[in-house]
Structure formats: C-alpha cells, structure tokens
C-alpha cells in the first residue's frame, strides 16, 4: 500500500498534480487567445490569471474529494485493488482538513479575481472569477450538486472549455469578446469528451452511490461512443474555424494541431474495445490517449498562436 511519511507528501498526493493539465492547458489557451487580439499584453494580467488558476485548481481538487468522499468509499470497498488510494476514505487526510483547505483556496481565487479587477480596471474579471468558482460549487457542493443529479459533464465543459480560458484571455487583453475566442469552438467538445470519460472508471460505484453521470446512467459503451464522437466534432470544428477565420486560425497552425489530435485519437480507438466496464487498466490507457489528444493538441495550438508575432509566416 502507498505510504505518505510526511504531511507534505500527503498534501501533494491530495492535490493530484497529474490532473493539473486539465486546467493549466485551458488557461494557457486563454492566454494565447488574449495575446492574439491584444494591442498590449498585460504582464500583470498574466500574473493575476496564473494566480487565479492555481487557487481555482486547488479548490476544485480538494472540494471535489470532500464532496465525493462517500462514493469514493464505496469504490474502495467494491474494488480495493482496482483504484488508487482515496484521500479521505483511506485516511490520507482528515475530511475537515480537506474541506477547510478547499474553502480557503476558493476564497483565494475569488479574492484574486476581485483584486485583479480593481488593480487592472477590469470589472469583468471579478464577474468571471465568481462565475468560475460558482460553476464548481454548482458542480459538486450542496444544494445543487449537479454532478450527482445529472448535468455535471455539461457544467465541467462550460467551466473548463469556456469560463476559464475566457477569464485568462480577459486578464491578458482587457477585452470581453474578441474574434480569437473562436479558437474555443473546437476546444469545447473536447472538454465535454474529457468530462464524460472521467466517469468511466467510476461507473458501477457511482451508480451504487446515486451519482448520475453519463457512464452511470447510459453505460460504458454509449459513454465511449460519445467521447469518440466529440473528439471528431472538435477536429471538424477546428478545421472549419481555419477555413472560415484564417486570420484567427491559419492553416499552418491548424494542420499540425489536427494531426496531433488525430494521432492520439487513433490510439484511443484502438484501446476502446478493451476499455469496458470495470476494466480499469485499459480504461486508464483509454483516458491517457484522450488526454494526450486534448492537452497536446490544445497546448500546441496555444504555443503556435503565442509564437505568431515572431514567426516569418
């Protein structure tokens, strides 16, 4: 069994650094969107945006663990060898420590949004910060708990695919809406695919615990089909964006991005037939290929977009 000899190792495990790209990549894409349409990139805006995403990330990870402690306990009882240790059920950290730290991180994210709005003269940043944190509260915490009632995947898509990158872009450029926001058109379905795939390994325990996800309600097979369809939808939408708005997404950027996504999608499809209910190891490989498609594709899109002013193209 995994041991955690120091408090630092316990908190590091609880914060799940392997999952951080789920928010860091959208944040980077938001910075690229803001920089593409900004006459002047605000260094302070970038700093405030980075602080917000760090605190928001910590709040989401910790409060989600606290909210899911009962279904996590069910999964550990049902599949003690089929999943990694859970922060609260396995006694890695006490529930009240996780709750208090999560609340502190959420408050810190809100404060960053408000202070950034005042300092930079961007009232939209305060509103965006409240929306960003509020989406998560509606996702996991009472009274809404939409991740348990159904609709959690759509809420995650809205938060990760729209609200977070929009806020980062707003911090950087100071603008509410720009043509560069069109880069999110293909990213949104990829975020929904990721949200649906998150429930694959918890299908049975979520069903027993009363948590309504796409996988627990409709089953593994349909959930995988939705994931794979959404990846292709994202590819098509990015391709159409390149055709319709070449000033925003030139073909020389779109082409390598789509190649990266489709390369991982090919591996995803090869693994799909093995990633069935309770097949935890193939499911992990399946989700890894999905994450590679999303994170590598979106990171390449962001990096090439940021590099445009220095490239002779």
- Residue 253 has what pLDDT? 97
Q: What percent of the chain lies above the pLDDT cut of 70?
A: 99
Q: How far apart are CA 133 and CA 104, in angstroms?
A: 12
Angle separating helix axes 43-67 and 21-36, nearest 10 degrees: 150
| pTM, to two decimals | 0.95
Q: How many CA atoms lie within 13 A of 231 on its CB side?
A: 30
DSSP string, 163-197: IHHHHHHHHHH--S--GGGGGGTTHHHHHHHHHHH
Residue 163 lies in a domain: yes
Q: How far apart are CA 195 and CA 142, in angstroms?
A: 20
Residue 137 above 60 pLDDT? yes
- For 84-118, the pLDDT digits (tens) are 899 999 999 999 999 999 999 999 999 999 999 99
Residue 82 lies in a domain: yes
Residue 281 lies in a domain: yes
Residue 3 above 80 pLDDT? no
Q: In the structure encoding, which two tokens stand for residue 48, read together? A: 């405030």
- Residue 127 has what pLDDT? 96
Residue 4 lies in a domain: no
Tally the domains of the chain: 1
Residue 39 is part of which domain span?
9-310
Residue 266 lies in a domain: yes
CATH of the domain at 278: 1.10.600
- For 56-85, the pLDDT digits (tens) are 999 999 999 999 999 999 999 999 887 889
Once rounded to an integer, what is the mean pLDDT over residues 162-184?
A: 95
Q: Residues 173, 174, 180, CA angle at the centre, nearest 5°? A: 45
For the chain, give the mean pLDDT: 94
Q: How far apart are CA 72 and CA 155, in angstroms?
A: 21
Residue 2 above 80 pLDDT? no
- Residue 1 has what pLDDT? 45
Number of residues that make up the chain: 313
- For 222-268, the pLDDT digits (tens) are 999 999 999 999 999 999 999 999 999 999 999 999 999 999 999 99
Residue 3 lies in a domain: no
Residue 2 lies in a domain: no
DSSP assignment letter at 200: G
């Amino acid at each position: 069994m995994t041991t955690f000899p120091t408090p630092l190792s316990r908190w590091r495990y609880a914060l799940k650094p392997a999952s951080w790209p789920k928010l860091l990549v959208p944040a980077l894409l938001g910075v690229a969107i803001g920089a593409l349409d900004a006459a002047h990139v605000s260094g302070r805006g970038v700093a405030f945006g980075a602080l917000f995403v760090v605190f928001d990330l910590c709040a989401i990870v910790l409060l989600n663990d606290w909210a899911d402690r009962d279904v996590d306990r069910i999964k550990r009882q049902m599949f003690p060898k089929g999943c990694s240790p859970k922060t609260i059920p396995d006694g890695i950290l006490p529930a009240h420590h996780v709750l208090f730290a999560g609340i502190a991180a959420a408050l810190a994210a809100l404060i960053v949004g408000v202070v950034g709005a005042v300092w930079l003269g961007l009232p939209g940043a305060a509103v965006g910060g409240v929306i960003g944190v509020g989406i998560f509260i509606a996702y996991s915490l009472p009274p809404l708990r939409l991740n348990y009632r159904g609709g959690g995947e759509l809420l995650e898509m809205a938060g990760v695919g729209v609200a977070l990158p929009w806020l980062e872009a707003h911090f950087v450029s100071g603008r509410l809406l720009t043509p560069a926001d069109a880069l999110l058109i293909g990213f949104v379905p990829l975020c929904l695919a990721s949200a649906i795939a998150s429930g694959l390994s918890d299908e049975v325990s979520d069903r027993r615990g009363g948590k309504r996800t796409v996988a627990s309600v409709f089953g593994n097979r349909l959930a995988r089909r939705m994931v794979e369809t959404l990846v292709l939808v994202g590819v098509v939408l990015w391709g159409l964006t390149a055709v319709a708005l070449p000033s925003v997404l030139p073909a020389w950027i779109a082409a390598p991005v789509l190649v990266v996504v489709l390369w991982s999608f090919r591996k995803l499809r090869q693994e799909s037939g093995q990633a069935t209910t309770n097949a935890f190891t193939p499911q992990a490989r399946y989700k890894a290929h999905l994450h590679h498609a999303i994170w590598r594709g979106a990171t390449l899109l962001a990096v090439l977009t940021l590099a445009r002013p220095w490239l002779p193209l």
